[in-house]
């Protein structure tokens, strides 16, 4: 059983930066497919970025060039560095993990383990 705990959320002004972390326990993340998702009020949960066990990364179009997903296998932590934030990035951010190979990285149903989320609020 894998437990995921997100941290690093907060309130920033437009143009600011935040770095989210997702600490895992119960298993090593090295062989997992990992993802970051977000959910704004009244909206469905949407994919932000993912990384697979080979280190390949994928991003939603809306965050390309601004967000970077990375993983520290030694510490078992997944990161999401977010720059040039806008009010549209306001949401609860979740990390997700699955030990299997994922074909559809953007599908919430592809991931078995989820964290509780961390709030990111960007003001204009």
> pLDDT, tens digit, for every residue of 51-85?
998 889 999 999 999 999 999 988 999 999 999 99
Q: With beta carbons less than 8 A apart as the criterion, state whether 8 and 119 touch.
A: no
Mean pLDDT of the chain: 96
Over residues 81-112, the pLDDT tens digits come to 999 999 999 999 999 999 998 889 999 999 99
52: helix, strand or coil: coil
On the question of pLDDT at 1 being above 90, the answer is: no
Q: What is the largest CA-CA distance in the chain?
A: 40
Is residue 31 very low, low, confident or very high in pLDDT (cuts 50, 70, 90)? confident
Q: With beta carbons less than 8 A apart as the criterion, state whether 33 and 52 touch.
A: yes
DSSP 51: E
């Amino acid at each position: 059983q894998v437990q995921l705990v997100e941290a690093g959320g907060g309130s920033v002004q437009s143009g600011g930066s935040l770095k989210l972390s997702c600490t895992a326990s119960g298993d090593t993340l090295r062989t997992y497919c990992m993802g970051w998702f977000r959910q704004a009020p009244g909206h469905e949960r949407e994919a932000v970025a993912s990384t697979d066990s080979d280190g390949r990364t994928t991003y939603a179009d809306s965050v390309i060039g601004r967000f970077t997903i990375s993983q520290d296998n030694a510490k078992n932590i997944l990161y999401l560095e977010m720059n040039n934030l806008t009010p549209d990035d306001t949401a609860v951010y979740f990390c997700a993990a699955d030990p299997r190979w994922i074909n559809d990285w953007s599908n919430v149903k592809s991931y078995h383990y989820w964290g509780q989320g961390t709030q990111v609020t960007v003001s204009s």
